[in-house]
Amino acid sequence: MLKGKKIILGITGSIAAYKAAYLTRALIKKGAEVQIVITPAGKEFITPVTLSALTGKPVVSEFFSANDGTWHSHVDLGLWADLLLIAPATASTIGKMANGIADNMLITTYLSAKAPVFIAPAMDLDMFAHPSTQHNLELLRSYGNHIIEPATGELASHLEGKGRMEEPDRIVERIEAFFASRQSLRGRKIVITAGPTYEKIDPVRFIGNYSSGKMGFSLARVCAERGADVVLIAGPVTLPTPHASIKRIDVESADEMYRAAMEAYPTADAAICCAAVADYAPAEYRSTKMKRNADDLTLVLRPNKDIAAELGKIKRAGQCLAGFALETDHEAENAVAKMQRKNFDFIVLNSLRDAGAGFRGDTNKVSIWYRDGRSADYPVKSKLEVASDIVDALTACLGGE
């Protein structure tokens, strides 16, 4: 269940920190990739050496590395994670998280994180029962965080009561159950085209475009995380495959992409055409390098197959098809006409006017237009978050939630 999941485990200054080593091991055994972020007080209870030996990664604690002064980016860390788990969480850390007191690496990471957050409190019974702790936990719940209630039993103080951190195995079960509940595309096969295409002129030259593939790769990641069998048909990009379960087919030209898509789509539940496919290819490929001379050069270009439109023609009842539009004028009108022409169920319109939208960058700003005339506008978001909105639309198209 946790295969390929990136989990930040935040450890704070509680005696229950000794259980964090077991918890780390249990998460890794289930296939998770774990990054430890520990507070200065946490290090008094468990040594970073134990933890880094288990994760195979340096433990992050300070804003700057003591060795070489490198700055540890809490923003990058926060964005990297699929889930942030704070176990054990002391009353102090809970109070700081509830009130945004960002005086250590863990709290800044928490404030930067976009991923779901799980908090496993650990403290003495009276501290746990104190109205301020309860109020802070209530605040954290209201922010959408998940609290893993502590268990009742003998505490480190030898008192009996509620406050001991939930057992690591139970915590792992909770996290597995959480990810399982988000498997809304389990059993679905989704084809995604991504990146540019290169149309060869001669052995060293091609016609291409600036598409980075980031949007399509983000879509592939989100679909895979939600349990889909993803076939990612990728044009020439330098991106790593974003999820272990993805079947990636690397292609170069529009024609190769067309053939791969036409083969994959008939057995799929849906396809998202995200690739920036070249509209034309040189009519003739020269097998030797073209020589420079003083004359003007005319290249004859022939139109490529419109992959999306061809998939639209073979779309069966119950299958979904979505595509993108990048328009410079009459944006909405052109996008809606394109959706109808290509038989899409919905179309994602990339805004060209807004900062933070379009090719190459890490953010995008889109609106989604549907066949029934509905549309939804979204603010500038990371490509991963945009992908999540698009996959929500796809899931609804497939009859899910």
Residues that bind ligand C5P (CB under 6 A): 193, 254, 273-275, 277, 279, 304, 306-308, 323-325, 338
The per-residue b/e assignment along 366-394, b for 16 or more CB within 10 angstroms, e otherwise, is bbbbbeeeeeeebebbbbbbbbbbbbbbb
Say whether 79 sits in a helix, a strand or coil.
Answer: helix
In this structure, what are the phi and psi dihedrals at residue 224, rounded to the nearest 5 degrees?
-65, -40
- For residue 43, the cross-strand partners are none
d(CA 20, CA 17): 5
Please report which helix (H) or strand (E) contains residue 349, including its range: strand 346-350
Least separation, in Å, of the C-beta of 202 and ligand C5P? Answer: 22
Q: Minimum Å distance from CB 276 to ligand C5P?
A: 7
By Cβ distance, which residue is nearest to ligand C5P? 323
CB of 302 to ligand C5P, least distance (A): 12
* Length of the chain counted residue by residue: 401
Report the residue number, 148 or 325, with the smaller CB distance to ligand C5P.
Answer: 325
HSE on the CB side for 39, CA within 13 Å?
A: 25
CA atoms in the 13 A half-sphere facing the CB of 369: 22
Minimum CB–partner distance for residue 237 and ligand C5P (Å):
14
Cβ proximity to ligand C5P, 92 vs 375, nearer residue: 375
> Could you give the C-alpha distances from 167 to 6, 24, 90, 128, in angstroms and in order?
21, 12, 16, 17
Our CB check for ligand C5P shows the closer of 80 and 370 to be 370
Q: How many separate helices (H) and strands (E) can be counted in the chain?
A: 13, 21
CA dist 206 and 198 (Å) reads 6
Yes or no: say if 221 and 384 are a contact pair by the CB < 8 Å rule.
yes
Q: How far is the CB of 248 from ligand C5P (least distance, A)?
A: 17
Q: How many CB atoms lie within 10 A of CB 362?
A: 12
Return the number of the residue (97 or 260) whose C-beta is nearest ligand C5P: 260
Shortest Cβ 355–ligand C5P spacing (Å): 22
For ligand C5P, give the closer residue by CB, 93 or 218.
218
Task: Please identify, using beta-carbon distances, which residue of 98 and 391 lies nearer to ligand C5P.
Answer: 391
- Tell me whether residue 120 or residue 397 sits nearer to ligand C5P (CB atom): 397
Query: What is the distance between the alpha carbons of residues 355 and 364, in angstroms, rounded to a whole number?
Result: 9
Q: Active-site residue 209, yes or no?
A: yes
Which DSSP letter does residue 17 get? G
Retrieve residue 390's tokens: 């698009």
Please pick, among 99, 136, 145, 209, the residue that the annotation labels catalytic: 209
Q: How far is the CB of 312 from ligand C5P (least distance, A)?
A: 9
Tell me which amino acid residue 387 is: A
Active site residues: 209
